Chains A and B, each alone.
Chain A
């Protein structure tokens, strides 16, 4: 009797419950990693002799030595690590902690293995410092844009109009910067332009109940037409006065900027980069540590319940859209005063959509969305650098890397994301 009682207890302790969605995600991730491992295994046979990585650029005060890796063994090692990690995930016998470790190991292995294979095919070294610096620069507007989306969508307003906000902000920053010769004035102008665009989004989405995804697309068209028209009509004929804005300069943060490799990348950037990093923390704090943030998330998840306890759903949504517009304005300014100082038509080239992708992949969370922006910046910069190295891969294919990586990530790794429950749903009392 006592023996039969204890046996079921022991069996219960070994039962491992896993939802169908989680199992599907684990299997697809595992098989993807196995496929990457197989790819690296094949690549290890065609790798060159040595892969050289430089850790300093020509202007760094402290010149770190280059790192030369034997390409074949390194690619082979990373291939085996990927196969082990992928196999572990597919088997389902890894604990939660080990699963995350497997994911990290696989990610690092893919990057190191691929770069080693690519660099070994070129006589030029792969510049790690440029890779990291470019990643930060490219990620800045994506981080800011995705934050704009996070705030709005947490409150239930889909923001496909990030692209339009970027465009209006970039245009306004260039013109205001040219007229005033002042970077702060240009940034303020950019934020106001994005806020006006946000006002339009809010008016039609919150008050007139227009479908929010289509509204975003239309606002993007309006921004493209408006900036294009004003550019053709006013700015281009008078470009010296209206389209020659001063450009942001890097602001080193004291001795921190002198740290080899990491210093110039993190602590010798423009104010916009620092603002982007600070903004991530600010949005996180606003959403998760303030009463206002609780209300924003409440109206995004269950507006009727929020209304019942006395929260004005429309007021909170308006506030969220306008607060988000601040970050979209800063992100848009990057394309003019943050880089070239001049506006050309459709200068944002779809980065608003990439920011939207980053926010969705980041599960509508400010930190994860920012990390996704960095991921996209990293892959984009890597494609650009490899193009310079003249690797065997056609340069046009390299330019597709960020987009293919994003589809693989969203289909295999992220899987089904859950938006705020009332995202995109207008609230009618």
Chain B
């Protein structure tokens, strides 16, 4: 019995490692290939460096030397900006937290076979509501933060729930509706910033009053704040939901085969509505990170038109890279958060436009989504036949 148990345990561990090492290897290879492509793009787009390649065969050290200096300078700055100091790590975590939350929202919808392109609008409503609660009310420390967070999450849930309800009730195409809801959310934000409830007294430009300190997410170290802990907690909650709850089982079943799920007695319409509501809540939590999280000067950034940036769209690539699973989404969020943090340093130190990080992100996801292509480029990864990443999305488009 003891021997059998120990052998079984070892077998399970070996099985897990052998099943997942290829995923991790492909992901690592995808990242390396993305860096290579980024380097090529960097070299080709720099007139001074590319001019040296005219002398590649007469003075190769000139071309290769300048290329290496260019690439190593940019990527060095990128790495230092993301990981090179405690302050850099803190910045990476603050960049990663909203990506993780919104990525969970997109990934959860994917598992149900839904495409939540609307995380952007949901995040906007989360930020608007949390900020409004933050600067309008005077509540005791702790309670104020709790009310603001709950309010923001609820707002995101409502905005996501509308999409789910329309899908369930009328069959409205969720891709179209979520795209429209993004624009409506941005437009509503523009309007709200013109109202007395949201406009900062004494100013005409669209900026809100500052959030009270009692509602701000407390800083643990620099820009490493409680919001990151909330993001990790959200990831754990989503994992539990999907893996250990009947609701999660319904979500995965509907995503895998809606007809079979319906035959088995699960309500596809109800599951759709619940999933989009939860996805909206998670994206709302991402918006809260922007509205209540500390900035470089320690206080939250006031509500403005561009406060949440493009988190809803970036979250789609985070969910893809993370294969729509909570653990994967956390690591993908950290990677992209690092690229965001490092991109700023790369631009200021090495004068390489930070838009390069967008190319890197896109290329990483493309390679991860096409493991057969990675195996073609790097043959040693070819083992068993690599199938398309079915786990990227649970169901059909």
Q: Which residues of A contact B (CB under 8 A)?
A: 24, 28, 158, 160, 204, 208-215, 217-219, 221-222, 224-226, 228-234, 345, 350, 353-354, 356-357, 360-361, 394, 396-397, 399-400, 403-404, 406-407, 410-412, 414-417, 423-426
Contacts and interface: CB of A to CB of B under 8 A. Distances in A.
B316 A208 contact: no
Interface in B345-392: 352-353, 355-363, 365-366, 369-370, 372-373, 388-389, 392
Given A211-B389, A231-B355, A425-B397, 15 more contacts: A24-B170, A204-B370, A209-B370, A210-B370, A211-B388, A224-B355, A353-B179, A397-B191, A403-B183, A404-B180, A407-B166, A407-B172, A411-B177, A416-B170, A424-B397
B50 to A, nearest CB: 11
Majority SS of interface residues in chain B? helix
Nearest to A416: B171
Given A208-B370, A394-B191, A232 B184 contact: no
11 contacts: A209-B370, A210-B366, A213-B397, A214-B369, A232-B353, A232-B355, A353-B179, A357-B175, A360-B173, A394-B191, A394-B194
A225 B316 contact: no
B171 A211 contact: no
Given A210-B370, A218-B369, A224-B358, A403 B187 contact: yes
Given A217-B117, A397-B187, A415 B361 contact: no
B173 A210 contact: no
A406 B176 contact: yes
Contacts of B366: 204, 210, 215, 218, 222
A411 B170 contact: yes
Contacts, number: 169
Contacts of A228: 353, 355, 358
B366 to A, nearest CB: 6
A233 B169 CA distance: 49
B243 interface: no
Contacts of B184: 400, 403-404, 407
A416 B358 CA distance: 35
B315 to A, nearest CB: 10
A407 B43 CA distance: 45
B355 A407 contact: no
Given A214-B320, A406-B176, A209 B194 contact: no
Contacts of A215: 366, 369
B59 interface: no
Contacts of B36: none
B170 A217 contact: no
Contacts of A204: 366, 369-370, 373
B361 A211 contact: no
B370 A357 contact: no
B45 interface: yes
A406 B397 contact: no
A415 B180 contact: no
B392 A221 contact: no
Nearest to A158: B397
B115 interface: yes
B45 A233 contact: yes
Contacts of B277: none
Contacts of A357: 175-176, 179-180
B175 A411 contact: no
B355 A229 contact: yes
B188 interface: yes
Contacts of A407: 166, 172, 176-177, 180-181, 184
A209 B370 CA distance: 7
A415 B179 CA distance: 17
Nearest to B366: A218
Given A211-B393, A396-B191, A233 B46 contact: yes
Contacts of A424: 396-397
* 5 tightest A-B CB contacts, nearest first: A225-B358, A424-B397, A416-B171, A222-B362, A228-B355
B190 interface: yes
A213 B388 contact: no
Contact of A403 (B169, B180, B313): B180
Interface residues of B, number: 52
Given A360-B173, A406-B176, A411-B177, A423 B187 contact: no
B218 to A, nearest CB: 33
Given A209-B388, A210-B369, A407-B181, A221 B358 contact: yes
B332 to A, nearest CB: 13
A415 B173 CA distance: 8
Contacts of B175: 160, 213, 356-357, 360
Given A204-B369, A360-B175, A221 B317 contact: yes
A224 B363 CA distance: 12
B41 interface: yes
A32 B278 CA distance: 29
A421 to B, nearest CB: 11
Given A204-B366, A233-B353, A411 B317 contact: no
Contacts of B320: 214, 217-218
A238 B360 CA distance: 25
A211 B369 contact: yes
B388 A426 contact: yes
Nearest to A219: B362
A146 B183 CA distance: 19
A396 B194 contact: yes
A212 B45 contact: no
B187 A400 contact: yes
Contacts of B190: 396, 399
Nearest to A229: B355
A204 B373 CA distance: 9
Contacts of B117: 217, 353
A156 to B, nearest CB: 10
A229 B166 contact: no
A229 B41 contact: yes
A28 B397 CA distance: 26
A230 B44 CA distance: 10
Given A158-B397, A403-B183, A218 B172 contact: no
A211 B355 CA distance: 25
Nearest to A215: B369
Nearest to A405: B180
Contacts of A232: 353, 355
